[in-house]
Structure 1
Amino acid sequence: MNTRTRFTRRVAVGAAALALLAAGCGTTTTDSGSGGDASVEEGFNVGLLLPESKTARYEKFDKPYIEESLAELCENCELTYQNADQETAKQQDQAEAMLTEGIDVMVLDAVDTESAASIVSNAQSQDVPVVAYDRLAQGGVDYYVSFNNQTVGQVQGEALIEALEEEGTIDDGEIVAIHGSPTDPNAAEFKTGAMEVLEGNVEIAAEFDTPEWSPDKAQEQMDGAITSSSVDDIVGVYSANDGMTAGVVAALKSAGADEMPPITGQDAEIAGIQRIISGEQYMTVYKEIRAEAQVAAEMAVAAATGEEYDGGENTITEAEDGDGETVPSVLLDPVSVTEENVEETVVADGFYTIEEICTDDYADTDFCKETAGEQ
């Protein structure tokens, strides 16, 4: 089954959830004891808190997709939105303001999951349920939706090994590992998954954690790794996301690299896809954010109206937060994207159009020439 079909089925599940929620009218309570008295017919206020804007996905995809999914489920509902710009204190203030305003349910992608426990506690004290989105905030949230983060790291590591084997360089040099933010628990899971694959199969010359997922910091770290080793000895780079990959590529170019070694990424940012088709990046991890947003909206509506979210076609599992609390969760599967399947993944799903990818700077790539011939 292709990704487009899976998404179409999820939309159908969302429509079914709407019918069930409308029939229920929010008369029961959730297991956590918070929320439960809102009504789909009358509508209610959903507070959405996203963590930062350095990563392109949040403003371009997550927020509008959640807004769109919520409108499908509850046409009279309102969405109150804030972005914390990677500032923990700012997100705390935003959450307090939303609760004062009177939101009925909160969808929270925490800047710092440990510090977010106070946000969750404050919300629950006011009978406002919390859906943890993409990152599992501590404090005992009601629901959690994300991707299988350890699998993300494994997919990245496996892709890098495959690329090195294809080039015949797996035993001929070293790799550099640029991990994500140490305050993001997802980054720790990406790291665990990747290193399970890489350790023992490649020589790792240097390894870094990157505060705030900063591309500039990633560039500095890559500069340091090149100085300590040699640009000619680096045969591959594990980079945890596309934004940092931009910094890695800049450092390699500055050091005089004639060609880029295989470099990983994540989030399928447009710049990452363009680097892939031009040969500057080997792969990225595509996460069906629309599907994640759909699940988050369904969870939020269920929590606010007192219905139990049953997952639809998605499997409900349990995730354990940093406090040892178990949370009903949906963990979606990531997809590896290389030049070979750009058209079958991000283009087929409507994430990007060929026109958006094949701008003037990339019109002469094989990918753009081939797809232009297909149109």
Structure 2
Amino acid sequence: MRTTMRRVATAATAVAMTAALAACGYAKEAGAQREAKKKRTGPLTIGLLLPEDQTARYENFDRPLIVKHVKRLCEGCEVVYNNAKSDTSAQQQQVDSMITKKVDVIILDAVDSEAIAGSVRKADKAGIPVVAYDRLAEGPVSAYTSFDNEEVGRVQARSLLKALGDKAGQGKIVMLNGWEADPNAALFKKGALSVLKGKVEIGKSYDVDRWLADKANESMNGAISSLGREEIIGVYAANDGMAGGAISALRSGGFDPLPPVTGQDAELAGVRRVIAGDQYMSVYKPYEPEAKAAAEMAVALGRGRPVDAGTTVDSPTTQDIPSTLITPIALTKDNVAETVVRDGLWKTGQICTAKYAKACRAAGLT
């Protein structure tokens, strides 16, 4: 038995050494190719891959802001853009296309952070650094920028508890968490649970497929049927789209007044619901500093310069990734004017249509 174990251990050691040497050789090869590709001067070609077009932010804000900051930093630089429309396979093909086009850097917001790891490795092997944007892709990414996503969950949870007040012990809440393929969803949930546990009873909790509003609506209807209308005192919805689906289900279920519902992203429909009192809060994540950080990281990597980042984070596959994390802000009807309106995310005229005119006046927006 001892001889067998010794042989197994020796074999395992040999395999480990072989793997380590292979990994070292791979790293040297990728590093050499990256060094050869670095452009100290002249225009760069930067690939921008965003995950979906259901959430308004990506097409309306992230894309134009990233392009603006790249152009500001890098005269003559080109941004080549694709949106995966929530299709993991499509995004993998888009990375392959960027490699074929020999772009200098890729800014990647992954549809599925685990599934994209092989594509990130391909890019790395081709000498193309990858900036993980908003979601931390697995694989050898060179830099990462996002919001403090656990803090997003804590902000939502603290707001919900504030809205519930003394009612927190008088019923149950429903949790509508984000899509489990999105690593941010797990961080939002972790942050929220760190605040909610022991303070309020969670009656039902769902991970909502692809963050879809209609799936959130289905889950909310299921929770109402299971728990009963009298038991539900609040809803943790991880983003504004799902909050809208939940509110529709609550109205159909006869809730009047509506219980407090959280959200995230400060989408126009969500901001209007906040002003009207239908949705208690959203989370405002100023896209400008996130987009600016991504552009700065991409240009630095393309120029062969070190990334200027405030901290480091670890993914399941890569440690000490240079990272810039931005602080989220709780958005309620009390601070719409000094957040999303002041920063130019939405104009008062966009928010305060005829339907919301009275609520806007009450909130001091008009």
TM-score by length of 2: 0.89
Asked if the contact 2:40–2:302 (Cα under 8 Å) also holds between the matched residues in 1, the reply is: no
The higher relative CO (CA closer than 8 Å, separation ≥ 6) is in 1
Q: For 2:142 and 2:317, how far apart are their aligned partners in 1?
A: 14
Q: For 1:71 and 1:247, how far apart are their aligned partners in 2?
A: 38
One of 326, 333, 345 as aligned partner of 1:339: 333
Tell me what 1:116 maps to. Answer: 116
Tell me what 2:304 maps to. Answer: 306
- Displacement of 1:40 in angstroms is 6.9
- Displacement of 1:190 in angstroms is 0.3
Tell me what 2:8 maps to. Answer: none
Tell me what 2:320 maps to. Answer: 326
Question: 1:202-250 CA deviation, whole Å, 9 max, x = no partner?
Answer: 0111001011111111000000000011223211100000010010011
Tell me what 2:141 maps to. Answer: 141
Question: 1:273-314 CA deviation, whole Å, 9 max, x = no partner?
Answer: 000000110111111111000000000000011011223xxx
Q: Which amino acid aligns with 2:105?
A: V
- Displacement of 1:317 in angstroms is 1.1
Tell me what 2:84 maps to. Answer: 84
- Displacement of 1:102 in angstroms is 2.0
Asked if the contact 2:297–2:308 (Cα under 8 Å) also holds between the matched residues in 1, the reply is: no
One of 165, 190, 193 as aligned partner of 1:192: 190
SS in structure 2 at match of 1:146: strand
Tell me what 1:9 maps to. Answer: none
Q: For 1:265 and 1:142, how far apart are their aligned partners in 2?
A: 31
Tell me what 1:226 maps to. Answer: 224
**Structure with a larger share of its residues in helix:** 2
Asked if the contact 1:92–1:116 (Cα under 8 Å) also holds between the matched residues in 2, the reply is: yes
Rg larger for: 2
Tell me what 2:72 maps to. Answer: 72
Q: 1:251-266 alignment to 2 at 5 Å?
A: 251-266=249-264
Tell me what 1:348 maps to. Answer: 342
Please report the RMSD computed on the Cα atoms of aligned residues, expressed in angstroms.
1.7
Tell me what 2:244 maps to. Answer: 246
Q: For 1:83 and 1:310, how far apart are their aligned partners in 2?
A: 27
- Displacement of 1:32 in angstroms is 9.5
Q: For 2:186 and 2:363, how far apart are their aligned partners in 1?
A: 39
Q: For 2:37 and 2:95, how far apart are their aligned partners in 1?
A: 21
Tell me what 1:153 maps to. Answer: 153
Instruction: Assess, with a 3 A threshold, how the Cα gap between structure 1 residues 232 and 33 changes in structure 2: closer, same or farther.
Output: farther
Instruction: Assess, with a 3 A threshold, how the Cα gap between structure 1 residues 290 and 59 changes in structure 2: closer, same or farther.
Output: same
1:203 is the counterpart of 2:201? yes
Asked if the contact 2:46–2:78 (Cα under 8 Å) also holds between the matched residues in 1, the reply is: yes
Q: Which amino acid aligns with 1:319?
A: V
Q: Which amino acid aligns with 2:51?
A: P
- Displacement of 1:172 in angstroms is 1.7
Tell me what 1:182 maps to. Answer: 180
Q: For 1:362 and 1:40, how far apart are their aligned partners in 2?
A: 52
- Displacement of 1:370 in angstroms is 2.8
Instruction: Assess, with a 3 A threshold, how the Cα gap between structure 1 residues 138 and 214 changes in structure 2: closer, same or farther.
Output: same
Q: For 2:349 and 2:32, how far apart are their aligned partners in 1?
A: 47
Spell out structure 1 runs of 4+ moving beyond 6 A: 30-33
Asked if the contact 1:55–1:243 (Cα under 8 Å) also holds between the matched residues in 2, the reply is: yes
Instruction: Assess, with a 3 A threshold, how the Cα gap between structure 1 residues 288 and 369 changes in structure 2: closer, same or farther.
Output: closer
SS in structure 2 at match of 1:170: helix
SS in structure 1 at match of 2:169: coil
Q: For 1:44 and 1:33, how far apart are their aligned partners in 2?
A: 16
- Displacement of 1:170 in angstroms is 1.3
- Displacement of 1:371 in angstroms is 2.3
Q: Which amino acid aligns with 1:254?
A: S
SS in structure 2 at match of 1:329: strand
One of 354, 357, 361 as aligned partner of 1:363: 357
Tell me what 2:47 maps to. Answer: 47
1:107 is the counterpart of 2:119? no
SS in structure 2 at match of 1:204: strand
- Displacement of 1:54 in angstroms is 1.3
SS in structure 2 at match of 1:365: helix
Tell me what 1:21 maps to. Answer: none
Q: For 1:62 and 1:35, how far apart are their aligned partners in 2?
A: 29
Q: For 1:261 and 1:33, how far apart are their aligned partners in 2?
A: 57
SS in structure 1 at match of 2:338: helix
Asked if the contact 1:40–1:77 (Cα under 8 Å) also holds between the matched residues in 2, the reply is: no
